[in-house]
Amino acid sequence: MRFYTVMRAAAAALLLTLAPAQAEENPWDPLPPGEGAEETYYACIACHSLRTVTNGGYSQRVWDELLDWMVEEQGMWELEPDERALILNYLSTYIGEDWQG
């Protein structure tokens, strides 16, 4: 009886620790959540893993150049100016120089 009570408490404690993690599940994983994550996800997953993106951690200037390089040398379609600005802002804000991914 005692053992059962202890096990039940342990199970409840486990559920409590798991619940918040599930509530915060990030659909854009491994991209960090943030404004522009969705657009970045779909623009970049077309050709390579998003790990290629999260291996980054570049300044805005470097991300800017990388986007041009993706278009000019890697066959990426030209992004609409609004979308490009959103994605560039997302990359340099959330996967910028101090990104520890």
Give the footprint of ligand HEC on this chain (CB under 6 A).
Answer: 40, 43-44, 46-48, 52-53, 56, 66-67, 70, 74-76, 87, 91
Distance CA 32, CA 27 (A): 9
Cβ(67)–Cβ(84) below 8 Å? yes
**ω into 33 cis (within 30 of 0):** no
C-beta closer to ligand HEC: residue 37 or 44: 44
C-beta closer to ligand HEC: residue 37 or 67: 67
C-beta closer to ligand HEC: residue 8 or 48: 48
CB of 57 to ligand HEC, least distance (A): 9
* Burial class of residue 38 in the structure, from the number of CB atoms within 10 Å of its CB (0-12 exposed, 13-18 middle, 19+ buried): middle
Cβ(97)–Cβ(57) below 8 Å? yes
CB of 21 to ligand HEC, least distance (A): 27
CB atoms within 10 A of CB 28: 17
C-beta closer to ligand HEC: residue 24 or 73: 73
CB of 24 to ligand HEC, least distance (A): 24
